[in-house]
């Protein structure tokens, strides 16, 4: 049995993978090796083989016919969902338009900052020294069409180029 993997069950939480050797003084004596100091004279009944880590189903689906009350509640919920569907879709379209407009403004701001950096003849390393932004972050910012920088990042980049970042709030 020496070298087999067992889990020790105690009143506390079970210990993870524990190796044991059969005791030299008799079959009831074990030496348990853990990350801590070895435990001696551990009773045999406290040691159980480690089970497979394969997950088993904890629940089963039960299919049954709906009761008339359940069927009526389901019909009402479907009707409410169908009536609210157009409002939800319309709100989603408005939010997407606002998001797309914001993305265009951010992309335009990044393009302006990149053009200014190139006009000044600054390398990514120069901008790093001025702003503390890593060259890889600046490169990703300038070249990734899905870049989503924070305002702080844009402010730091603009400050490194002796520019300021201005934001506006307008009603729709």
DSSP-based three-state secondary structure for 7: strand
Same domain membership, residue 153 and residue 114: yes
154 shares a domain with 87: yes
Q: What is the DSSP annotation of 100-145?
A: HHHHHHHHHHHHHHHHHHHHHT--HHHHHHHH---HHHHHHHHH-T
Average model confidence (pLDDT) across the chain: 76
Lowest mean pLDDT among 46-55, 114-123, 157-166: 46-55
Residue 54 lies in a domain: no
Summarize the confidence of residues 146-165 as an average pLDDT.
92
Domain that holds residue 45: 5-49
Q: What's the confidence (pLDDT) of residue 1?
A: 44
Q: Kindly list the distances between the CA atom of residue 107 and the CA atoms of 100, 104, 117, in Å, as whole numbers in the listed order.
A: 10, 5, 15
Give the dihedral sign, CA 117/118/122/126: positive
Taking 90 as the threshold, does the pLDDT of residue 11 lie above it?
Answer: no
For residue range 31-81, what is the model confidence (pLDDT) as tens digits? Answer: 444 444 444 554 544 455 555 555 666 667 777 888 999 999 999 999 988
Check whether residue 22 and residue 92 sit in a common domain. no
Q: What is the pLDDT of residue 16?
A: 41
Q: Which residue has the higher pLDDT, 15 or 134?
A: 134
Same domain? 72 vs 39: no
């Amino acid at each position: 049995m020496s070298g087999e993997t067992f889990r020790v069950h105690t009143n506390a939480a079970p210990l993870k993978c524990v190796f044991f050797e059969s005791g030299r003084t008799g079959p009831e004596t074990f030496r348990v090796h853990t990350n801590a100091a070895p435990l001696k004279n551990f009773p045999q009944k406290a040691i159980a083989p480690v089970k497979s880590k394969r997950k088993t189903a904890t629940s089963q689906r039960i299919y049954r016919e709906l009761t008339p009350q359940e069927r009526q509640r389901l019909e009402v919920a479907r009707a409410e969902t169908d009536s609210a569907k157009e409002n939800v879709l319309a709100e989603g379209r408005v939010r997407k338009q606002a998001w797309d407009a914001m993305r265009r403004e951010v992309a335009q701001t990044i393009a302006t900052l990149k053009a200014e950096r190139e006009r000044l003849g600054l390398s990514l390393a120069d901008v790093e020294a001025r702003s503390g932004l890593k060259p890889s972050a600046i490169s990703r910012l300038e070249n990734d069409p899905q870049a989503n920088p924070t305002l702080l990042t844009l402010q730091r980049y603009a400050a490194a180029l002796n520019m300021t970042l201005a934001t506006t709030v307008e009603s729709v």
